[in-house]
Amino acid sequence: MFKDIVLKTRSYRRFYEDAAISLETLRELVDLARLSASARNMQPLKYVLCRNQETNAAIFSTLAWAGYLTDWPGPVEGERPSGYIVVLGDKSLSQSLGVDHGIAMQSILLGATEKGLGGCMIGSIQRERLRQILAIPERYEILNVVALGKPKETVVLDPVGPDGDIKYWRDDAAVHHVPKRALEDIIVGES
């Protein structure tokens, strides 16, 4: 069922780093983004793919992980992503990117799930450092990074409790819990 894929498509932040991702796989995932919706069909998104260890390490150094887990600085060596897709906006094609990159990243992550992979959309990026590391020309706006790998953690969805707290948290067994609001709390009108 499609809902099972959506349920499985969580934000994963710990991976079997030695499970390499091929360039072909990354290309197939970008192809899903290519086939997705785009405002005015401008298709302004461009991508940098990375799966080699040295560049992976450099990209990793520009990213911030799990802001709510204040005592966790991010995945340790050996549990880091084995690949990245950097999502760029080509300003020569469109100045207003709308929500294209969100749609593209979700297509990428849904496709990753189907392939037995997982990942995390990252918005907290040292963009100027990343631009230098990857020699990204100024005409491209750095929008997001999708980190990818073979997930090494369990993520469960919980209902948001009566206190309304939406912060994700980790339990003693390092299971990652993500509170989700109830359907009745997000539908504000029906007719």
Ligand X SMILES: Cc1cc2nc3c(=O)[nH]c(=O)nc-3n(C[C@H](O)[C@H](O)[C@H](O)COP(=O)(O)O)c2cc1C
- How many CA atoms within 13 Å lie on the side-chain side of 161? 6
User: Binding to ligand X by residue 65, rule CB under 6 A?
Assistant: yes
User: Binding to ligand X by residue 66, rule CB under 6 A?
Assistant: yes
Task: State the nearest-atom distance from the C-beta of 123 to ligand X, in Å.
Answer: 3
Rounded Cα–Cα distance for residues 105 and 112 (Å)? 10
State the residue for tokens 């992979």.
Answer: 117
Task: State the nearest-atom distance from the C-beta of 100 to ligand X, in Å.
Answer: 12
Task: State the nearest-atom distance from the C-beta of 40 to ligand X, in Å.
Answer: 21
- Binder among 11, 25, 56, 107 for ligand X (CB under 6 A): 11
User: Binding to ligand X by residue 59, rule CB under 6 A?
Assistant: no
* Helices and strands (H and E) in the chain: how many: 6, 7
Rounded Cα–Cα distance for residues 136 and 48 (Å)? 9
Which strands sit side by side in the sheet containing 155-159, from one edge to the other? 155-159, 176-180, 169-170
Task: State the nearest-atom distance from the C-beta of 191 to ligand X, in Å.
Answer: 29
- Binder among 124, 128, 129, 132 for ligand X (CB under 6 A): 124
Q: Using CB under 6 A, list all residues that contact ligand X.
A: 10-11, 13, 64-66, 120-124, 155, 168, 178
